Amino acid sequence: MTTILDKIIDKKREEVALLKQSALTYKTDRTPISFYDRVVASKTIALIAEVKRASPSKGDINLGVDPVEQATIYADNGADAVSVLTDTPFFKGTMDDLKAVKENVEIPLLNKDFIIDEIQIDRAKASGGDIILLIAAALNDEEMHRLYRHSKEHGLDVLVEVHDEAEMERALALEANIIGINNRDLHSFKTNLAVTERLMSRYGKEKAIFVSESGIKTREDAIRLKEAGARALLVGETLMLAGDVAGAVRSLKVEL
């Protein structure tokens, strides 16, 4: 059965083909900021706070958001990284959002996109990204290894995202040091924090930093995921819809 991810990746292939045809090159000598080091040093659960205008599961979430204003509130209230969704067709984000946030915020930035080719990694780094995302469900082993190596050679952190045991085994075989467990089912779009609990109980917490992703709403959720062994949380919709964004960020930063 075709998932939304298959549709997104089909569109991404067109985007990558156009990028490769263009005369643009993505060279930069900047040194990315380490998210991994920040998490290891942190005494609280780390928070990756996301700028997310829209999504396939929810449609429009917050189209009027100013990414710089939102990211500044995140950073000023204790977020450890900002995730900027740069996919346009499905999430209504842009690479310009990432560049603008980079100019104004000093914590690490995750270029949240659907990476299938090295050129997107080079573009991410040149546009201010410090972390890139590799989604196990979208890549075969050869692609994951090649793209992981390319990112590491360029000094970037890599968040390797998994949904189930089989993908977790592949991420661990890669020796990924940051693994995201996505609580969102790609078929039904339903989120279930028990996915993190199930995978964390099966795989040793020592092998990587585990980030619980999607469907996180409250401080109680953060405590539950910390108790399951997660060292970091990735939160989008809850923060994009919060009346008090600063308070929402602070409430998720639970002590380890």
Ligand X SMILES: O=C(O)c1ccccc1NCC(=O)[C@H](O)[C@H](O)COP(=O)(O)O
Residue 184's contacts (CB-CB under 8 Å, 6 or more residues apart) are 57, 190, 191, 213, 214, 215
**Least distance to ligand X from the beta carbon of 91, Å?**
7
**Least distance to ligand X from the beta carbon of 26, Å?**
23
CA–CA gap between residue 247 and residue 22 (Å, rounded) = 43
Per CB under 6 A, 196 contacts ligand X:
no
Q: Which stretch binds ligand X (CB under 6 A): 48-56, 65-73, 164-172, 202-210?
A: 48-56
Name which position in 36, 56, 246, 251 contacts ligand X (CB under 6 A): 56
Name which position in 86, 237, 252, 254 contacts ligand X (CB under 6 A): 237
Tell which positions 109-168 bind ligand X, by CB under 6 A.
none
Per CB under 6 A, 87 contacts ligand X:
no
Per CB under 6 A, 93 contacts ligand X:
no
* Contact footprint for ligand X (CB under 6 A): 4-5, 50, 52, 55-57, 182, 184, 189, 191, 213-216, 234-238
